[in-house]
Amino acid sequence: MRGTDLATGARPLDVRGLATIDLPGLESAAARMLRVDRKYLLPAREAQRLVGHLAAGTRVLEHEGRTSFHYASVYFDTAPAGTGESYRAAATGRRRRVKVRTRCYLDSRRAWLEVKAPTGRDESEKRRFPLDWDAVGPGLGAPGDPTALPLGPAERDELGLTLSQLGSRVLPEELRGVLRTSYTRTTLALPREGARITVDTGLTWTDPASSRELGTPMTVVETKTGQSPCSADRHLWRLGHRPVRISKFAVGLALLGLDEDAAADNRWRRTLRTLEGTGQP
């Protein structure tokens, strides 16, 4: 896959027939800012089959008449080419690690800065701060420089405090944009279980500095629950699907081949083989 593009041919999930839920309802039923994430890499047809087998009471997020939403993010690290602190910490499973990114909701023109870190209990914690859309642009980082962190002095101070509280030694001034991701997301809620499911299609990775891009036709399904698995997890397990290690950030850097050693020995070897067509989903 290195050096070539993958045609995604992806379509949003077909959710006709599901009842809907609005954003306040979703946040009330299954906010899950502190959660266990289980990720699955599935062919599109398998993700669609999951929808048909979900428990009664499943809801699909609807906002302004939409049930699928276009996302873009820029990930920031201390160095490009898969050699920065965040990438290396993730690749080696270091306990004290953080991920810093912008998250842009392209349909509603809203943007956030997000900091995500493991808690040490197989859970992750995410903190987020609103950003001025005009300061971020369409998921490309700061206008005029897609590798710049789009923050003013006060926001940088807040980010620095957050990083320190999460046990990271990374400083805001060290961060540069190293990877852009974009995809279409459908979000499902299981209110009775307090769980949510995201289904991402049309996933692409872009090097912000060169605009080089790769994509995949595979679908990323993620369940977000408490410690106990939800009915979607159990259904996928019965079909023989098991959670896989996939970080859009780390896998994207490795697939783009920005560093010859980026994928040499890390936690995503199986996932990388699947995406490159030499492994099993």
pLDDT tens string 182-210 = 999 999 999 888 899 999 999 999 988 88
In a domain, 11, yes or no: no
pLDDT one-digit tens code per residue, 35-54: 688 999 999 999 999 988 88
102 vs 115: CA distance, rounded Å? 9
Residues contacting residue 63 through CB under 8 Å, at least 6 positions apart: 22, 23, 69, 107, 108
Q: How big is the chain by its Cα radius of gyration, in Å?
A: 18
Contact of 271 with 41, CB cutoff 8 Å: yes
Across the range 63-88, mean pLDDT stands at 87
In a domain, 5, yes or no: no
In a domain, 2, yes or no: no
Tokens of 130: 């609103």
Identify the CATH number of the domain in which residue 128 sits. Answer: 2.40.320.10
Contact of 113 with 133, CB cutoff 8 Å: no
Contact of 10 with 219, CB cutoff 8 Å: yes
Number of residues assigned to the chain: 281
pLDDT one-digit tens code per residue, 68-77: 999 999 999 9
Q: What is the pTM of this model?
A: 0.84
DSSP structural state of residue 55: P
In a domain, 10, yes or no: no
In a domain, 238, yes or no: yes
Owning domain of residue 248: 19-275
Look at the chain and report how many structural domains it folds into.
Answer: 1
104 vs 111: CA distance, rounded Å? 4
In a domain, 14, yes or no: no
In a domain, 7, yes or no: no
